[in-house]
């Protein structure tokens, strides 16, 4: 049986959507790797690995540009409607967020030589940051899985974890400030560690932003509206 023009268009659109999801997944994998490697570099004082994290950030930027081109082409040529359009727009926005997450990992890597510049005693809070970064990285991983599966409930679960990450940040912030007050000679190093902690906290915020986009793409409703309804019931 011959393929109709409509069937061909639908098949082509499905292929474009699969490609968009694959690009987002690829970006996410690179961002997760960047977070992990940046923290390893920070712990070990590995300036070579820190430079590698910064170099690889260009790959994330390149994929974001590819996502933008494909999303614009899909909207222009396929004229998607309703939930299909939401998914394309979500992919476009999510790519921009992942690019920012990659930037945060790159910023952390930039701090490695500055934190390890002195030969002073090791600041114990450095050992706490990888656990915080793991939590943030897991949020990124899980929310991108939710996007791929169009799983609104999984997106909600990711957004709910942001409060725990914020609490972790607050605890590390207090620990570092106390240490800095008690050891004034460490002010410079502690300031850099505070910057790292804040960057990790922002990664969690961005994962939550992606969760909101995933929820909207899957349901057509805003996640905040669901929270309001739940509170009223």
- Full pLDDT tens readout for the chain, 233 residues: 444 555 556 777 788 889 999 999 999 999 999 999 999 999 888 999 999 999 999 999 999 999 999 999 998 887 878 888 898 999 999 999 999 999 999 999 999 888 865 555 566 667 889 999 999 999 999 999 999 999 999 999 999 999 999 999 999 999 999 988 998 888 888 899 999 999 999 999 999 999 999 999 999 898 865 444 443 44
Question: What does the alpha-carbon distance between residue 196 and residue 105 come to, in Å, rounded to a whole number?
Answer: 9
8-36 per-position pLDDT tens digit: 567 777 888 899 999 999 999 999 999 99
**Ramachandran angles phi, psi of 220, nearest 5°:** 80, 5
- Residue 123 belongs to some domain of the structure: yes
Q: Give a yes or no: residue 121 inside a domain.
A: yes
Quick check: pTM over 0.75?
yes
What is the Cα gyration radius of the chain?
A: 21
Residue 36 · residue 137 · CB < 8 Å = yes
Q: Largest alpha-carbon pair distance within the chain?
A: 80
In a domain, 45, yes or no: yes
* Distance in angstroms (rounded) separating the CA atoms of residues 28 and 98: 7
Domain membership of residue 232 (yes or no) is no
Instruction: Let me know if residue 233 belongs to a domain.
Output: no
The answer to whether residue 85 is domain-embedded is yes
Q: For position 9, what pLDDT does the model report?
A: 62
> What mean pLDDT, rounded, does the chain reach?
88
Domain that holds residue 174: 1-227
8 Å CB contact between 101 and 140: yes
Is 173 part of a structural domain of the chain?
Answer: yes
- Give the residue among 205, 197, 185, 218 at the shortest CA–CA distance from 83: 218
Number of domains in the chain: 1
* Cα–Cα distance list, 67 to 22, 59, 95, 218 (Å): 10, 13, 7, 19
Cβ neighbourhood burial of 233 (10 Å; 0-12, 13-18, 19+)? exposed
User: Can you give the CATH number for the domain in which 118 is found?
Assistant: 1.20.58.220
Helices (H), 150-222: 152-160, 162-182, 187-219
Count CB neighbours of 150 within 10 A: 18
């Amino acid at each position: 049986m011959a393929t109709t023009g409509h069937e061909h268009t639908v098949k082509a659109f499905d292929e474009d959507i699969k490609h968009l999801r694959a690009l987002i997944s690829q970006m996410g994998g690179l961002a997760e790797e960047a977070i992990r490697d940046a923290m390893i570099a920070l712990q070990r004082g590995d300036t070579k690995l820190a430079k590698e994290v910064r170099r690889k950030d260009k790959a994330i930027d390149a994929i974001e540009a590819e996502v933008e081109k494909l999303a614009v082409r899909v909207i222009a040529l396929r004229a998607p409607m309703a939930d299909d359009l939401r998914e394309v727009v979500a992919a476009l926005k999510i790519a921009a967020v992942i690019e920012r997450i990659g930037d945060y990992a790159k910023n952390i890597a930039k701090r490695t030589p500055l934190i390890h510049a002195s030969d002073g005693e090791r600041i114990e809070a450095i050992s706490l940051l990888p656990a915080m970064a793991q939590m943030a990285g897991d949020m990124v991983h899980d929310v991108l899985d939710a996007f791929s599966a169009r799983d609104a409930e999984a997106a909600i679960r990711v957004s709910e974890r942001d409060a725990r990450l914020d609490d972790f940040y607050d605890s590390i912030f207090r620990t570092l400030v106390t240490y800095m007050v008690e050891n004034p000679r460490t002010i410079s190093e502690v300031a850099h560690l505070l910057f790292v902690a804040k960057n990790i906290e922002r990664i969690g915020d961005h994962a939550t932003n992606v969760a909101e986009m995933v929820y909207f793409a899957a349901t057509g409703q805003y996640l905040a509206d669901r929270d309001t309804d739940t509170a009223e019931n």
